[in-house]
Amino acid sequence: MRPAPLGGTPGISTIAPEEVEAFLAAVELAYAGRLPPDELRTVGTLLDSERCLVVREGGAIVATAGSYRLRCTLPWGKAAEVAGISFVGVHPVHRRRGLLRLLLVHQLQALGAEGFPFALLTASEGGIYGRFGFGVTTWWATYRVRRDRVGEAPRETSSAWRLEHAWPEEVAEGLRAVYRAACTTVPGGATRPELEWHDYLADPPRQREGSSALNALVAVDARAEMAGYALYRLHDVGQGPSSAHRVDVVDLQAPEPGAASLLWRHLARMDLADEVLAPLRSLDEPLRLLFPDPRAVETLAVRDGAWLRILDVRGALAARGYGVDGGAVLEVVDPLLPANRGCWSLEVRAGRGHCERVRDAQPAVRLGIDALGAAYLGGTDLGHLARAGLVEEVVPGGVARTAELLRAERTPWLTTTF
């Protein structure tokens, strides 16, 4: 049975459980892709139909959006259940008629009503989501490590870990456990949906794009417990008769920095390969410091990682932790969600934030909901946003005082795609 439209908004509805395959096919089509029927069936079992929204025309799905419930690590040892928006797509011949706007505005209101303090997403293109109040809250770096500069492998006299090779599906539970621990060590770390794990563990050939199968390098401790892992492929970049390979790092997680270093050092000196390419990494990955020659590592690109949309200013500011005590009043501008608009007093005592709406107070800063989203995890300094004209200082010193409050203990990093 086809579900009724939601909330009186014409055309928008959730999907019935038997429609998950049609939903996934519509999402794939938005990317010009086509999943084989058996894969649609398998992936469909991992999808929660109640979290999938669509617009239909003439009975066919023409626009899609979905969300996950994710647990996200927040600054100073806190965490929250947040919404991870995904599966956003509009049929190729139905674009620029406002379908994304219709779906997304509805979805943001619904996620706010569900109690999520904020929503996260990763964007296919950088120009889409700012207009909906999302700000870039974490960034991803792509690193290149040059084998000709990393030098000889140091003789490991003693190490708490030893390295082993495995196929990902053989060590699936260990990978999941390491990931669960690793994503709590950094603000922006988020639980990884089962559907993402499926792509790593099933490693369908369509994902390989001319590379090898996905390999796992795991660091195990003296009790044979997995302490870290790297998932990688070998990619043939040779032309003609020359043989040249690159190690493509798909994922590397290790809660213990020592285990991460061991994995990186091994990848950097892998036989057959001239270089390592590692996208989607943290900006403060200490990679450059692992080799005697810091020029062994180049940052090839920095791009937006997590876009964050605050749905509930009070709830969001109270959910994260703080490194210093103090207070500031923030005037928030939000064209889309009226409940966020106005002045909010943030008071921090013993690392806990209390946030209340205030009416007669002089704000320290005035900022859009997108700028607050960008600063929320502490990765984008408020002063930086102010210098870009995205935060207005209302009282002298207001930017510095508010920036000090919003700082995080560590550069945030979104640890997964979703």
Ligand X SMILES: CC(C)(COP(=O)(O)OP(=O)(O)OC[C@H]1O[C@@H](n2cnc3c(N)ncnc32)[C@H](O)[C@@H]1OP(=O)(O)O)[C@@H](O)C(=O)NCCC(=O)NCCS
User: Which residue is catalytic, options 23, 68, 118, 129?
Assistant: 129
> What tokens does 239 get?
């032309």
Closest distance of CB 27 from ligand X, Å: 8
Q: Residue 416: name the closest of 200, 205, 212, 147 by CA.
A: 200
Q: In what order do the strands lie in the sheet with 352-358?
A: 352-358, 342-349, 326-333, 365-368, 391-393
Using DSSP's 3-state secondary structure scheme, residue 20 falls into: helix
> What tokens does 37 get?
């029927």
Q: How far apart are CA 92 and CA 85, in angstroms?
A: 20
Closest distance of CB 114 from ligand X, Å: 21
- Cβ proximity to ligand X: between 124 and 159 the closer is 124
Using DSSP's 3-state secondary structure scheme, residue 269 falls into: coil
**Residue 129 annotated among the catalytic residues of the structure:** yes
**Residue 179 annotated among the catalytic residues of the structure:** no
Closest distance of CB 127 from ligand X, Å: 3
- Cβ proximity to ligand X: between 95 and 288 the closer is 95
Using DSSP's 3-state secondary structure scheme, residue 308 falls into: strand
Closest distance of CB 33 from ligand X, Å: 10
CA angle, 226 then 229 then 234, to 5°: 145
Rg of the Cα atoms in the chain: 23
- Cα–Cα distances (Å) from 345 to 78, 115, 118, 330, 390, in that order, read 20, 21, 19, 6, 20
User: Which residue is catalytic, options 23, 68, 134, 418?
Assistant: 418
Closest distance of CB 97 from ligand X, Å: 6
Q: How far apart are CA 317 and CA 297, in angstroms?
A: 37
- Cβ proximity to ligand X: between 294 and 335 the closer is 335
Interacting residue ranges for ligand X, rule: CB under 6 A: 30-31, 88-90, 95-101, 123-125, 127-128, 131
- Cβ proximity to ligand X: between 125 and 209 the closer is 125
Q: How far apart are CA 54 and CA 263, in angstroms?
A: 43
Query: At a CB cut-off of 8 Å and minimum separation 6, what does 297 contact?
Result: 143, 144, 145, 146, 287, 288, 290, 291
Closest distance of CB 31 from ligand X, Å: 6
State the DSSP string of 195-228: HHHHHHHH--GGGTTTB---EEEEEEETTS-EEE
Closest distance of CB 414 from ligand X, Å: 14
Cβ atoms of residues 306 and 135 within 8 Å:
no
- Cβ proximity to ligand X: between 125 and 173 the closer is 125
- Cβ proximity to ligand X: between 127 and 389 the closer is 127
- Cβ proximity to ligand X: between 38 and 125 the closer is 125
* Residues belonging to the active site: 129, 418
